[in-house]
Amino acid sequence: MARLTNIEDVLFPVQECPVYTQYESAMGKQGVVIPGKKALVNARTGRVLGVVGREYVLVTNQKALDLAYECCARVFPETRAVEWVVDACDAPSGGGHCFIDLRHHSTALDFSLVSAEQRPDTFGPFIRVTNSYNGLRALSFDIGFYRKVCKNGLISPRSIISFSFIHSRREIGKSVDFKVNQEQLKQFKSSFSEYIKTFRDCFVPQNLFKPLVQDALRIIRPAKADKSEKADEAWKILSDYIDGLCRRYADELGENAYAVFNAVTDFASHPPSNSSIHRDRNSLQKRAGEWINKFHLSCKERKFQYDRYFSSPARRG
């Protein structure tokens, strides 16, 4: 199903409306308000976005975006909110929730991870705001990093930004106090640099790329009970897509863990439309962030041992 990728498509006005039910009586059908419930409705289309409790506090996507600009300035105090721009937007067609990415529009926050003689790659940070109208996702802000040449990215698994609240009066007040752990940010950037160097130095044969990509992102072939001719065709298309991705990065970067890393983050950042994929870009990029923390330990071994990696319970922990 098509997704909303234009920022204007998710900045629609939202109305809170009472929820009614009908019942039969001697006088015919009667309507009554359901106490403690309200519907959130897209005022442009009239579509119901979600039914929530009375304690639910509405934060529109526009308000969430305004808060994201404030968050950027807090995480990177050397910048100003006006220096950040919307770079990506992703939401299901119904608009029940959305993810919006902000990136700094200059190279001021760029950092290179490899020495010049080894073809340096430049990375930059972004901040993603998550908002929802169905109560299933908290209003939250995450920091990510992306390779600037191709916009392959991941979400940090560490709590650098402390602001992730459910939509309730108890959690969300009149003002927002972002708590930013600058030391955690500094440590993650440093460890991220170390991970990339370790990946560049770790030999991985090309025939292992595909199983590693699938393992990192938990891409699993449908079980026999779930198979159908249509499901088989979708899986074949997806399998061929991953094969092509692995070949491309092996050709570009060589047989090493850094090429695998790029195949993982490429898939996570630009997932194809396929019925065998059951997770959105946000979830995939968070898995990519979690994976590098664990995979680099295998790469630090004297020789990458495929069997040991796949048999280790730590990679799932």
Are residues 164 and 64 part of one domain? Answer: yes
> Percent helix, strand, coil in the chain (nearest 5)?
40, 30, 30
Are residues 310 and 221 part of one domain? Answer: yes
Q: List strand residue ranges (DSSP E) for the chain, in order.
A: 3-4, 14-25, 28-42, 48-53, 84-92, 97-104, 111-112, 122-132, 139-147, 152-155, 161-162, 164-165, 179-180
Are residues 107 and 67 part of one domain? Answer: yes
Within-domain flag for 123: yes
Q: In terms of residue numbers, what domain contains 10?
A: 1-23+32-177
Rounded Cα distance, 88 and 268, in Å: 14
Mean pLDDT along residues 195-202 = 89
| pTM as predicted | 0.86
Element (H, E) at 294: helix 281-299
Are residues 114 and 249 part of one domain? Answer: no
Within-domain flag for 195: no
Rounded Cα distance, 185 and 75, in Å: 9
Rounded Cα distance, 20 and 32, in Å: 5
Within-domain flag for 194: no
Mean pLDDT along residues 249-268 = 95
Q: What's the token pair of residue 222?
A: 């449908």
Are residues 163 and 83 part of one domain? Answer: yes
Element (H, E) at 183: helix 182-201
Within-domain flag for 3: yes
- Residue 198's nearest CA partner among 56, 300, 91 is 300
Are residues 104 and 14 part of one domain? Answer: yes
N residues, the chain? 317
pLDDT at 167: 63
Q: How confident is the prediction for the chain on average, in pLDDT?
A: 86
3-state secondary structure of 205: coil
101-121: per-residue pLDDT in tens?
A: 999 988 888 887 765 456 668
pLDDT at 168: 59
Are residues 241 and 128 part of one domain? Answer: no
Are residues 234 and 304 part of one domain? Answer: yes
